[in-house]
Structure 1
């Protein structure tokens, strides 16, 4: 069983581990490497994928939106194990693109990890995880709308990264930042589409 994730750099290490000896890396392989029992690491993984240059791959933001939608529903239903359909699990990324994305994220990960600590944990634990699940659900719905705009899905990726990190580090400050990012994204969407 994989050791519990506690930082963004550990997630990037697991991404590197998943791609070793592979030409392409499926979401299922990534899930197996980071663990299938915790929603925080999965939201963090998807957030990192969306923040990285991988968000420019056509169809990827919408696919990740479906995955986040399903994860959020399972969080709300208090499921203990994560389930995703086979067509999402089979979605793969070339080893080279995954290596580039992980490498691109290394420096920001070091900076972010320095600020991670357990604080305001009441904002992420117990019943407080439900608003985070609802927030993730809202982000999942917006991802297909953001896909036509080049790299706009990265803003949702920032929020999902914050949510995932808040959940694994019990850092309520990151939850507050995620709420702020989502309000900003909603404002931009409302401004552009209404």
Structure 2
């Protein structure tokens, strides 16, 4: 027996097609419920789908959270990135993921800090370099976003900022069909890879010195 889908909250008819992304983002902080659920986000952005939801979750993940908080956002980003890579037409998330929520007050506070930046970026983006936002490109972008979300969830010092920024750029590129944003996402991803390499090299070097110190004591 299949379970009935969770009912979606009512949304404005203009939400998906005619309202700017920033306006929808801002209006999500005005609900009566003290908790903002992922289900409400999915309903609010509708056909804008993957890019819009990944963008919102990535922006939220860039805010300061307690240890392990990033994983709450990383998991749905991974699921949606895989759906994008496998060319699904609409966003699907399991019922338990749709129930995930954040405090609406914290959401309002975080969004208010970055709203000016969002509006500026929104004004700069436009459809261009279409070959970077086609179906084949979406497959590659989706898979890269999976890797970035995994890295974002790792307990690496300052290691969540770069993958979070890269995810924001990729999501904006997908949503606005802007190949220039995709290119910036690739650059941010390369910077993230370089940072991880430097962290790994540092850890190996420290481990080598510690091992040498213990060997010296034992000798």
Normalization by structure 1: what TM-score?
Answer: 0.86
Moved more, 179-188 or 40-49: 40-49
2:55 corresponds in structure 1 to 44
Q: Choose the corresponding residue for 1:25, options 36, 39, 54.
A: 36
Moved more, 91-100 or 81-90: 81-90
Q: Choose the corresponding residue for 1:62, options 58, 61, 71.
A: 71
Task: List gaps (5 residues or longer) in structure 2.
Answer: 1-12, 202-219
Partner-residue secondary structure (3-state), 1:117: coil
CA deviation vs aligned residue, 1:88-143 (integer Å, no higher than 9, x gap): 22221112101101101111112212211221121112211111111101112212
**Contact 2:127 2:177 (C-alpha < 8 Å) held by counterparts:** yes
2:133 corresponds in structure 1 to 124
Higher relative contact order (CA 8 A, sep 6+): 1
Q: RMSD over aligned Cα, in angstroms? A: 2.1
Paired with 1:6 and 1:171, the residues of 2 have a C-alpha distance of 18
Paired with 2:38 and 2:69, the residues of 1 have a C-alpha distance of 11
Partner-residue secondary structure (3-state), 1:25: strand
Partner-residue secondary structure (3-state), 1:93: strand
1:60-99 correspondence runs (5 A): 60-99=69-108
Paired with 1:72 and 1:192, the residues of 2 have a C-alpha distance of 26
Paired with 2:160 and 2:20, the residues of 1 have a C-alpha distance of 22
Paired with 1:14 and 1:36, the residues of 2 have a C-alpha distance of 17
1:134 corresponds in structure 2 to 143
Kindly name which structure, 1 or 2, has the bigger radius of gyration based on alpha carbons: 2
Matched, 1:177 2:184: yes
- 1:37, CA displacement in angstroms? 6.4
Partner-residue secondary structure (3-state), 1:56: coil
Moved more, 66-75 or 1-10: 1-10
Over 3 Å counting, the alpha-carbon distance change for 1:20 and 1:8 in structure 2 is same
Task: List gaps (5 residues or longer) in structure 1.
Answer: none
Paired with 1:108 and 1:77, the residues of 2 have a C-alpha distance of 31
Paired with 1:37 and 1:114, the residues of 2 have a C-alpha distance of 17
1:115 corresponds in structure 2 to 124
Normalization by structure 2: what TM-score?
Answer: 0.77
Matched, 1:168 2:168: no
